[in-house]
Amino acid sequence: MSSFYRAKLFLPILALLLFQISAHAAEEWTIQSRNLPAPAAASDALSSAIASIPQPNVATSSFSPQTPEQWVAFVNGASAARDVPLVTLEQTANVSIEKDVVAGVTVYRVVPNQIAPEHRDDLFFHIHGGAYVLGGGDGAVAEAVQVASSSGIRAISVDYRMPPESPFPAAVDDTIAVYREVLKSFAPGNIAIGGTSTGGGLSFATVLQMKALGLPLPAAIFAGTPWADLSKTSDTLFTNEGIDRVLVTYDGLLKGAAELYAGGENLKHPLISPLYGDFSGLPPTILVSGTRDLLLSDTVRAHRKLRDAGVVAELHVFEGLSHAGYLFDPTAPESMSTFAEISQFFKTHLD
């Protein structure tokens, strides 16, 4: 009997078996406890770093401020612990940083001491991360400095308004306002927009709003592990819970921040969760994530949505990397590879 006819006989039997299994399947799987070693195939730096820390605790990570006053206190405390003086960033990254106000919005202008010849007319329009509640003030510019320094490109980082004082759509409005002014000095074909986490998600939302307003779109997007769906939908919010050493769990700060930012709007509003928007016509996009990233599925879903819309899109997933892990140790191979890929992508797609 030929393999063709064997397949014809086997397929109905397989379909029947799958139907019988699905008829008795549970809606959820319960996965038994198991050991998770440090990722042996990751770089020595990353593997050693993971092996040296305690296992993330989902229970103790499931916290969130409850009142506006508690949110303000939490944000102020986190900012004080994380901010790096601008002069230190300038000295370590060989850049100059100027704080400015554009269209009523605070921004940070970053100029590398050495601008790459390919980027003499280009700009990286940076949007910082921080779950829409953190990462503002002087801390907003840190990632812009890394990209500017590693790519030899000028950057402007937008310190957009955030809740509890300014929920959605303030962040989108601010980025659009600054972008309109930037267009007076830079051609859209010379602009790349992007950032990590919220910065990636907000970059998508901002470009969707540019489309709606009829504004010329930038030439490229960098979406680093983008928070592109603020609802609890993506698969790795479940499968990587307690494995991502940075975010740990959605149930807590992320959930609270999502609801605070939305301000009563549906979390699946396309300008809040851009994965529910129309990605047709978006600029070429580079996406970065890791196998232990809680937002790996957001990144994968964004990549697939772009590809299905016919958009040029590159997806880079690093072994063992948690959420935004490439930002923490600039000397780790994963970090150097990330910024090298971003640099090459900008050189390819900016005029």
> At 96, which helix (H) or strand (E)?
strand 95-102
In the block, tokens 């602009």 appear at 191
Coil, helix or strand for 292?
A: coil
Q: Taking the mean position of all CA atoms in its chain, how far away is CA 9?
A: 48
| Domain range annotation of the chain | 50-349
Taking CA atoms, 325 is separated from 105, 218, 288, 317, 322, in Å, by 29, 26, 10, 11, 5
Query: Is residue 175 within 8 Å of residue 127, measured between CB atoms?
Result: yes
pLDDT of 14 reads 54
3-state DSSP: the chain helix, strand, coil percent, rounded to 5? Answer: 45, 15, 40
pLDDT of 78 reads 86
Q: Comparing C-alpha atoms, which of 194, 201, 209, 322 is closest to residue 257? A: 201
- DSSP lists the bridge partners of residue 288 as 224, 316
Coil, helix or strand for 316?
A: strand
Query: Is residue 299 within 8 Å of residue 237, measured between CB atoms?
Result: no
- Residues 60-97: tens digit of each pLDDT: 888 899 999 999 999 988 887 777 899 999 999 999 99
pLDDT of 3 reads 52
pLDDT of 20 reads 57
Coil, helix or strand for 34?
A: coil
Residue length of the chain:
351
- Residues 163-204: tens digit of each pLDDT: 999 999 999 999 999 999 999 999 999 999 999 999 999 999
Angle formed by the axes of helices 198-213 and 170-182, to 10°? 70
What is the C-alpha separation between 309 and 311, in angstroms, rounded?
A: 6
pLDDT of 4 reads 47
What token pair was written down for 60? 């103790």
Which ranges of the chain have pLDDT less than 50? 4-5, 7
Please count the other Cβ atoms lying within 10 Å of the Cβ belonging to residue 287.
Answer: 24
pLDDT of 8 reads 55
pLDDT of 27 reads 78
Q: Kindly compute the dihedral angle of the four CA atoms of residues 282, 130, 260, 269, in this order, to the nearest 10 degrees.
A: 10
What b/e sequence results for 246-285 when a residue is b if at least 16 CB atoms lie within 10 Å of its CB, and e otherwise?
bbbbbbbbbbbbbbbbbeeeebebbbbbbbbbebeebbbb
Fold for 50-349, please state it: Rossmann fold (3.40.50)
